[in-house]
Amino acid sequence: MTEIICAGFGGQGILTAGMLMIHAGMEQGHNVTFYPSYGSEMRGGTANCNVKISEKLIASPLCKEADIVLGMTSPAVDKFEARLKPGGMLFVNASIVDADRSYRDDITVVKVPVTEISIEAGNPKGANIVMLGALASKSDLFDAAHLKEVIVKFFEDQGKGKHNATNIVCFDRGVEGK
Amino acid sequence: MAKVLMKGNDALAEAALAAGCRFYSGYPITPQTEILEYLSWRMDEVGGEFIQAESELAGINMVHGAAAAGARAFTTSSGPGFSLKQEGISYLAAADLPAVVVDVMRIGTGLGDISLGQGDYWQLTRGGGHGDYRTLVLAPASVQESVDLMIASFDLAEKYLHPVLIASDAAIGQMIEAVEIPEAVEHDIDQFEWSIKGCKAGTEPRKVQNIYYHHPDYEGFLTNKYAEMEANEQRYEAFEVEDAEIVLVAYGISSRICREVVDVGRAQGVKIGLIRPITLWPFPIKAFELAKSAKAFLTIEMSILGQMVDDVRLAIGDACPVDHYGSIFEIPETDGVLQAAIAFLNKVKGEV
Amino acid sequence: MKIKAPDTVTFTKSGFCPGCGHGLAVRLIAEVMEEMGLSDKLLTVVDVACGSLNIESWKFDTVLAAHGRPLPVAVGIQKVRKDNPVVAYIGDGAAYSIGMAETMHCALRNDNILTIVINNSLYGMTGGQCAPTSLPGQVTTSTPHGKDPKKAGMPFKVEDAFGGFESIAYLARGSMTDAANMNKSKKMLRKAFDKHMAGQGFCLVELLSPCPTNLGLPPLANIDWIADEMMKYFPLGEFRGGA
């Protein structure tokens, strides 16, 4: 069972990143759940979702202790760093989060300037895709090539395939981590 | 059909269409609003009727009309809105009309709050409106089961000519899981003799009204109707119950946690099992016959007072102690439930 | 002039009081349906109040709805059976008090249903209490000293509330007090059914109707009271779709 919290501001593709992860998980034959940020948290511009991917049945869709946190903003990193298990992975949007920030010493921190990369790639809305590239590269949760296929198909199915060229650039840059 | 990823509320709406339902009227209230929003566009695609009603009262009464005309019809709500549906549910029950009402439960009394809860059990199972009736109540514990029970609900409603309620909750409604929607069936609105369609000269007009007014033996008729539902429609799942000393009883979102509690507890050598009612009414008393070694029953509900615990006590009588472990605002946690179960069992054993 | 009532009117089980107007309305509806060849098509919804007795007074398929809810029930029926005429038959308490939101929103959506409101200035079934249509000073069982408009408001006039809804198909008020007015009311119903069958949308015909029992008047005096007192507040005429 892998528990993932994806968090940031509304408009950063937080929920889409979660949806892409469960699509990939489902295609790998796993049980998956996705739970959106819900309730008063929906107001005020923050967004997060809870994703679980498991070979066993999934009990609660909510993540109590996360294996992985994707933090797209400083408030998101501040809020969810504490929810990581010891040994968990924190992916940080280094374009926004202060470079001098200190972190727990029992977790792995991966810093990627996802906002800058997405702008350079010509797809400012693709920061979430950059983050998924980094996730695929640094964790063994997904095979990078498979996740990329899932992303391309997901947007094609939604009639948004025209952004896929730059999505692929975003994803590949995320895999590189810079 | 291949599996797709769908939100519980959306999947439930799509399942109603697969069951041949072509009439929906509802009113926005969190956390059921996605059903209304989904059907606002999807009903058009399948040539059905969608109405955003001016109130929950209007919504349920539009369903009453559509059902009387022979259609498969449903409405949905939550919490305060579900209270407003009760007038209409009572009238549906009185008139022997098949229709489906979904309650995506939220927390609390009065306005409560939009977050998770299972506090509508009494209202769902005791006939939440005025009078002398009950309804079939189906409680899904996953997105797939939301689909399966939504489809079953129309068949049951027509089998008994009675309203059927779905007891979903905010977690089941809001979460996304992989799901398979069965092939769609068509519903013929002219298949029932009793439905209104126009009275041919020389024939008796159809009167869709309170059964008390015209049935020659309404007392016997209704007694038998409820007895038949109780005898035939109990649905449940039982996990590791036969040798269990402590048996958890939980439905909906809470039952998913309890399933995990059983796995964790068994791994620690605790003789623990789970009864998961799928029908909240009729309450699956047959499941309790399986629990031959039980020394105690513990219900796990997202409610402060404990509501289903009443039905467990009725089901087992004085056979052994029954208690309730509640959590509100948060889904009960595996560790907390297991500790409570072990503590309760130890207490009971100490008393024996 | 036709004397025999249409076959869709029963005479066996009427529970109406002597001098009541409901039976007159039943006759008018049945005659219009016969003339239009729709007797075997009409679907009706009645309220739980006195109008519910129509379920035994006419031979039309009928649904009994909760108090104030016949309009949404009629909407549900009409959406399923689009080729049938659908009538919601209700009193002034259902239409303008407990079911006001339903009446208002059916008009706002211009739902294609035909609503007939029997206005007798009070709640009949429960024994003659004050209604939104009761006149200033009217003595009822809940205004024993006469209705005080300062406390209970002036009589509700549907044309003031809905007359400005430009999309609705028909809005009219008739009276069932004498032969001439019966004929006029029947023409209103015919016009409403024509528009309804043409799918033009919301039609509401209000009919001023006697309730001798609860007004404590002999039937003929009740007729005079409607003409002399009620019509001061409830003018007859067509307010929408008359041309």
Q: Is the pLDDT of residue A43 over 60?
A: no
A92 in Cβ contact with A71 (< 8 Å)? yes
Chain B residues within an 8 Å CB radius of C97: none
Q: Other CB atoms closer than 10 Å to residue B213's CB: what's the count? A: 14
**Predicted TM-score of the model (pTM):** 0.96
Indicate which of A55, A60, A64, A154 best probes the interface with B, i.e. most B CBs within 10 Å of its own CB.
A60
Which CATH number characterizes residue A30's domain?
3.40.920.10
| Low-confidence residues in chain C, pLDDT < 50 | none
Q: Does C226 touch chain B (CB under 8 A)?
A: no
Percent of chain B topping pLDDT 70: 99
Quick check: bond before B31 cis, omega within 30?
Answer: yes
Q: Which amino acid is at B245?
A: E
Please report the pLDDT score of residue C2 as a whole number.
57
Residue A127 has pLDDT above 70, yes or no: yes
Predicted confidence (pLDDT) per residue in C157-167, tens digit: 999 999 999 99
Q: What is the mean pLDDT of residues B117-127?
A: 97
Say yes or no: ipTM exceeds 0.85: yes
B105-119, B207-221, C4-18: which has the minimum mean pLDDT? C4-18
Q: Which residues of B touch A22 (CB under 8 A)?
A: 5, 176
Question: What pLDDT, on the 0 to 100 scale, is given for residue A41?
Answer: 47
Per-residue pLDDT of B262-286, as tens digits, reads: 999 999 999 999 999 999 999 999 9
Exposure string for A40-60, b = 16+ CB within 10 A, e = fewer = eeeeeebbbbbbbbeeeebbb
Cα-flanking dihedrals φ and ψ of residue B48, to 5°?
Answer: -100, -175
Reference A6, options A96, A67, A86, A87; nearest CA is A67
Domains present along chain B, CATH in parentheses = 4-232 (3.40.50.970), 237-351 (3.40.50.920)
* Angstroms from C11 CA to nearest CA on chain B: 15
The secondary structure element, H or E, covering residue A52 is: strand A46-54
Q: How far is B140 from chain C (nearest CA, A)?
A: 28
Q: What is the pLDDT of residues B16-38, one digit of tens each?
A: 999 999 999 999 999 999 999 99
Q: Is C104 on the interface with B (CB under 8 A)?
A: yes
Contact between chain A and chain C (3 or more Cβ pairs less than 8 Å apart): no
pLDDT higher than threshold 80 for residue A38: no
Give the mean model confidence (pLDDT) for residues A140-169. 96
Mean pLDDT, residues A64-88: 96
For the record, the structure tokens of C10 come out as 């029963």
Q: How far apart are CA B287 and CA B248, in angstroms?
A: 12
B143 backbone dihedrals φ, ψ, rounded to 5°: -65, -40
Write down the pLDDT at residue B211. Answer: 83
φ, ψ of residue B271 in degrees (nearest 5): -85, 90
Q: Under an 8 A CB cutoff, do B61 and C102 touch?
A: yes
Mean residue pLDDT across chain B = 96
pLDDT of C11:
79
Residue C80 contacts B, CB cutoff 8 Å: yes
Chain A residues within 8 A of B259 when measuring between CB atoms: 57, 59
Contact with chain B for residue A21, Cβ under 8 A: no
Residue C50 is given by DSSP the state G
CB distance B58–C72 less than 8 Å? Answer: yes
According to the model, what pLDDT value does residue B352 have?
58
Domain that holds residue A39: 2-176
- What pLDDT, on the 0 to 100 scale, is given for residue A11? 85
Instruction: Give the per-residue pLDDT at C4.
Output: 86
Nearest to A60 among B5, B113, B257 (CB): B257
**Contact state of B201 with C39 under an 8 Å Cβ cutoff:** yes
**Three-class SS of chain B:** CCCEEEEHHHHHHHHHHHCCCCEEEECCCCCCHHHHHHHHHHHHHCCCEEEECCCHHHHHHHHHHHHHCCCCEEEEECHHHHHHHHHHHHHHHHCCCCCEEEEEEEECCCCCEEEECCCCHHHHHCCCCCCCCCCEEECCCCHHHHHHHHHHHHHHHHHHCCCEEEEEEHHHHHCEEEECCCCCCCCCCCCCCCCCCCCCCCCCCCEECCHHHCCCCHHHHHHHHHHHHHHHCCCEEEECCCCCCEEEECCHHHHHHHHHHHHHHHHCCCCEEEEEECEEECCCHHHHCCCCCCCEEEEEECCCCCCHHHHHHHHHCCCCCEEEEECCCCCCCHHHHHHHHHHHHHHHHHHC
Q: Could you give phi then psi for residue B47, rounded to 5 degrees? A: 75, 25
Put simply, the chain A residues between 62 and 91 with a CB less than 8 A from any chain B CB are 62, 64
Tell me whether residue C232 is exposed, middle or buried, using C-beta atoms within 10 angstroms of its C-beta: 0 to 12, 13 to 18, 19 or more: exposed
Q: What is the mean pLDDT of residues B139-154?
A: 98
Mean pLDDT of B119-124: 97
Q: How do the domains of chain C map onto residue ranges? A: 22-240
Query: Please, which pLDDT band fits residue A126 given cuts at 50, 70 and 90?
Result: very high
User: CA-to-CA distance for B241 and C95, rounded, in angstroms?
Assistant: 56
Output the CATH code of domain C22-240: 3.40.50.970
Mean pLDDT of B87-95: 98
Give tens-digit pLDDT for B294-348: 999 999 999 999 999 999 999 999 999 999 999 888 899 999 999 999 999 999 9
Chain A to chain B Cβ contacts (< 8 Å): 54
Contact A32 B174 (CB under 8 A): no
Facing B260 at nearest CB: one of A32, A38, A59: A59
Mean pLDDT value of segment B212-223: 90
Q: Name the minimum distance, in Å, from the CA of B66 to any CA of chain C.
A: 4
Nearest by Cα to C42 from B189, B194, B200: B200
Residue B299 has what pLDDT?
98
> What is the number of alpha carbons within 13 Å of residue C127 lying toward its C-beta?
4
